[in-house]
Structure 1
Amino acid sequence: MTKPLKQIHLAAHFPGVNNTTVWSDPRAGSHIEFSSFVHLAQTAERAKFDFFFLAEGLRLREQGGQIYDLDVVGRPDTFTVLAALAAVTDRLGLAGTINSTFNEPFEVARQFASLDHLSAGRAAWNVVTSWDAFTGENFRRGGFLPQEQRYERAQTFLRTAWELFDSWRGDEIVADKDTGVFLRDPHAGAFAHHDAHFDIAGRFPVPRSPQGRPVILQAGDSDEGREFAASSADAIFSRHGTLAAGQAFYTDVKGRLARYGRSPEQLLVLPAATFVLGDTDAEAQERADVVRRQQVSGQTAIKFLEQLWNADLSAYDPDGPLPSFDPRPGENTIARGRASVRMYRDPVATAREWRALAEAKNLSIRELIIEVTGRQNFIGSPATVAATINEFVQSDASDGFVLVPHVTPGGLDEFADRVVPLLQERGVFRTEYTGSTLREHLGIDRVTA
């Protein structure tokens, strides 16, 4: 029997604070003005994407005691932007990263329930943790939570928020033409939660929202992050860039679901990916080479190297060789506020891998950083990119992709106009929305209890 074609899920990431964006491109626009958010979101909706994703920045990054000014543009409040976008979109899901370390369940649950009402059921929450004291200083909680406890708090935070969402069944509000609106259940919204992290009780003020609960996203790639996603998330992001690595991640995460009473289709795997298009594959590759060198300038390469080495390397030539000494052990004090620093669990071992790669390919510092910091990247003609995306999904390396354009806000336009129609012709991507909520777009049941 022929295996039915999987439907591809696509999302658009508004990049903001990272080194993906090419600031020097003449098409680059503001990352603060509302018009930029509107352009990217409306392009994604025109292309029938599942959702728009906005990351969170709780503190400006620093390196060497100075503001990291190679990619910092600031970050407006996530809920404010998503609520405003709800008014200028109709079907597109609205996903935001909200931290579980420095917030409180009541406030976050109230905000997401409100967003779900305002958007008629399109809200999603990317649950993340923060372990560093540097970010915590903004909240007067620097270092209050040991790193090994961050997922414990995140899991408890999420479960507590679910209790608040579920404190309304959904049928408590009754409208009577004579007596007005009244509550069928006088206990609606009542909650009480007591544990090591939270000791709260009261009444949740927001009635059951259209989705019951917002869609839950998870971005952790550690073993703890994968387990958290398997137990609680509706979708998990990943950063695996090859077909084989994607398949291994996909198999691992989906294999964890059964012990939580969940089936494989209840968790979507959505890697982040960039793309560069051209009329031919060769033209696209030429463009991609230019883009990568724009993304990783000489200055940027040295800054990235400092993050691993935990040392001032400003005297090094980006077109020269790697340092001969090993990275400094201990807490990273050079780069502060960067999640990527946490990826290097064994900096000395990573440095040795980088040296071996640089020697094997005769790479300079900049050339090495270009190679090792690249994420999943689709390069080619529209036909090639459409075929490659489809191969990843049909081969169970992913269920779709979160696309990160290198130009904001218009970088998604060409993909929407030239690649999406080809996926639709293959019968693997919707031509129209068939539902109104994000859960319907993702094929996830509404939560009723």
Structure 2
Amino acid sequence: MSKPLKQIHLAAHFPGVNNTTVWSDPAAGSHIEFESFVHFAKTAERAKFDFLFLAEGLRLREQGGKIYDLDVVGRPDTFTVLAALAAVTDRLGLTGTINSTFNEPYEVARQFATLDHLSDGRSAWNVVTSWDAFTGENFRRGGFLPQEERYSRAEEFLTTTQELFDSWHGDEILADQATGTFLKDAAAGAFVHQGQHFDIHGRFNVPRSPQGRPVIFQAGDSDEGREFAASTADAIFSRYATLKEGQAFYTDVKSRLAAYGRRPDQLLILPAATFVLGDTDQEAAELAREVRRQQVSGATAIKHLEFVWNRDLSAYDPEGPLPDVDPVVDEEHISRGRAQVRMYRDPIAIAREWRRLAEANKWSIRDLVINTGNRQTFVGAPATVARTINDFVQADASDGFILVPHITPGGLDPFADRVVPLLQERGVFRSEYEGTTLRDHLGLAHPDAAAGAPAERAAS
């Protein structure tokens, strides 16, 4: 007897300041005007996606002392945008990245509980950490937190916010204002937390929200990050885009759940994915090559090379050969506030390998960056892309995907119009929303459900 088909989860990442974005395309629009967010969100909701995802940057990135070109539009506040989108959508989940290093549990819990009320139960929190002093300079605790303590603080931060969410129970509602009796339980909202990172007590001032707590996402790929997700999160972002790597990650993370009394279906694994569609597979492949060249201009190629070389390479021709000098190590990095900096653990070895590839393939600097950088995850005709996505999910390489289009805000439209109907025909993606909250969309139990719900265990 064959096992039933898994249902695919789909979400959309508003790309904003992202190296997958093609700014030069005539179809590209604003990355900060509200109408761009509205268009993107309504497309995702029209396609019955689970949620929209917004990343957040707490400082503009710099390279060589200048603002990095992708950050010229700035970085709008996540909570403000999501709250506004709650008013123009009805079912779409609203997920935001909020940092646990430079915020406080009370304020974050209050903001998410409020967003959950405003959206009727559609909020989600992507819990991230930050250890770099560059970002911390914008905050009163600038740079104080050693890297090894970031997950310790994140774990206690999440535990503390959950205690705040749980300080209200479902029956603690306003009773009779005429007589001055406001609450059935005088202890409503009361909390006390004493720990390594937080020592707070008081009353939480937002009643129990429709979801009880926001859905929790986690994005770390380290062993610590995987363990944190297995113990606490409802979903984890994955960066693995090939079938073999995806299956290995999927198996590893899911196998960790039993130690926390959780089932494999209580943690979703959702890789980020880019895509290029064409009328035929060949047309899509040609378009994908053009998109990649648009994403990597000559100036962008030089900037990317500087991540590894850690020196000013502006005098080099992007259409010429790689530098014959070695990267600079053991000095402050030329690029500040960029996750890519930490991707290259051994720059000397990377430079040696890149020179070998460039010589063997007769690649210029730009050619090398185009061919070694991130490629589109799904390329092909709509039927090809739909089949490939379904194959990934049914083969347990993921539970779905968070799609990142290269055009803002209309880049999601072709996928919604041409791929989603094919997934619906296969019976692996919803035609209508069956519930109202994000927990409903993701198949997650409410924290107030019977013992054994994942959110109940996450609080323990």
| TM-score for both structures, normalised by structure 1 | 0.97
Equivalence for 1:381: 381
Query: Aligned ranges for residues 57-76 of structure 1 at < 5 Å?
Result: 57-76=57-76
Q: Is 1:282 matched with 2:275?
A: no
Equivalence for 1:391: 391
1:191 partner SS: strand
Shift of 1:331: 5.4
Which sections of structure 2, spanning at least 5 residues, go unmatched? 449-455
Equivalence for 1:204: 204
Equivalence for 2:255: 255
Shift of 1:358: 3.0
Q: What CA deviation, in whole Å up to 9, does each residue of 1:365-395 have, x standing for no partner?
A: 2122122221552111100110111111111
Equivalence for 2:190: 190
Letter in 2 for 1:82: L
Q: What CA deviation, in whole Å up to 9, does each residue of 1:267-303 have, x standing for no partner?
A: 1111111111111111111111111000011110110
Q: Is 1:272–1:376's contact at 8 Å kept on the other side of the alignment? A: no
1:164 partner SS: helix
1: CA distance, partners of 2:20 / 2:358? 22
Shift of 1:176: 5.0
Q: Is 2:61–2:71's contact at 8 Å kept on the other side of the alignment? A: no
Q: What CA deviation, in whole Å up to 9, does each residue of 1:169-203 have, x standing for no partner?
A: 22111545975863111111111111221111100
Q: Is 1:173–1:181's contact at 8 Å kept on the other side of the alignment? A: no
2: CA distance, partners of 1:80 / 1:102? 18
Equivalence for 2:358: 358
2:428 partner SS: coil
1: CA distance, partners of 2:274 / 2:71? 17
2:402 partner SS: strand
1:225 partner SS: helix
Figure out how many residues of one structure are paired with residues of the other and give that number: 449
Equivalence for 2:234: 234
Q: Is 1:56–1:96's contact at 8 Å kept on the other side of the alignment? A: yes
Q: Is 1:28–1:407's contact at 8 Å kept on the other side of the alignment? A: yes
1:127 partner SS: strand
1: CA distance, partners of 2:371 / 2:189? 52
Query: Aligned ranges for residues 73-112 of structure 1 at < 5 Å?
Result: 73-112=73-112
Measured at CA, do residues 402 and 158 of structure 1 come closer, stay the same or move farther in structure 2, by a change above 3 Å? same
Q: Is 2:126–2:216's contact at 8 Å kept on the other side of the alignment? A: yes
Shift of 1:207: 0.8
Equivalence for 1:329: 329
Query: Aligned ranges for residues 12-161 of structure 1 at < 5 Å?
Result: 12-161=12-161
Shift of 1:44: 0.1
Letter in 2 for 1:312: D
1: CA distance, partners of 2:350 / 2:392? 28
Q: Is 1:265 matched with 2:265?
A: yes
2: CA distance, partners of 1:226 / 1:378? 25
Q: Is 1:239–1:376's contact at 8 Å kept on the other side of the alignment? A: no
Shift of 1:138: 0.8
Equivalence for 2:451: none
Measured at CA, do residues 363 and 253 of structure 1 come closer, stay the same or move farther in structure 2, by a change above 3 Å? farther
Letter in 2 for 1:130: S
- Which moves more between the two structures, 289-298 or 339-348? 339-348
Shift of 1:238: 1.5
Identity of aligned residues (%): 79
Q: Is 2:17–2:70's contact at 8 Å kept on the other side of the alignment? A: no
Equivalence for 2:453: none
- Which moves more between the two structures, 22-31 or 418-427? 22-31
Give the superposed CA RMSD: 1.6
Measured at CA, do residues 177 and 63 of structure 1 come closer, stay the same or move farther in structure 2, by a change above 3 Å? closer
Q: Is 1:428 matched with 2:423?
A: no
Q: Is 2:93–2:122's contact at 8 Å kept on the other side of the alignment? A: yes
Equivalence for 1:439: 439
Which sections of structure 1, spanning at least 5 residues, go unmatched? none
Shift of 1:232: 1.1
2: CA distance, partners of 1:332 / 1:345? 14
1: CA distance, partners of 2:376 / 2:168? 41
Letter in 2 for 1:192: V
Measured at CA, do residues 331 and 119 of structure 1 come closer, stay the same or move farther in structure 2, by a change above 3 Å? farther
Q: Is 1:370 matched with 2:402?
A: no
Q: Is 2:121–2:210's contact at 8 Å kept on the other side of the alignment? A: yes
Q: Is 2:12–2:403's contact at 8 Å kept on the other side of the alignment? A: yes
Equivalence for 1:303: 303
2:285 partner SS: helix
Measured at CA, do residues 256 and 347 of structure 1 come closer, stay the same or move farther in structure 2, by a change above 3 Å? farther
Letter in 1 for 2:191: F
Q: Is 1:17–1:57's contact at 8 Å kept on the other side of the alignment? A: no
Equivalence for 2:346: 346
Equivalence for 2:293: 293
Measured at CA, do residues 376 and 164 of structure 1 come closer, stay the same or move farther in structure 2, by a change above 3 Å? farther
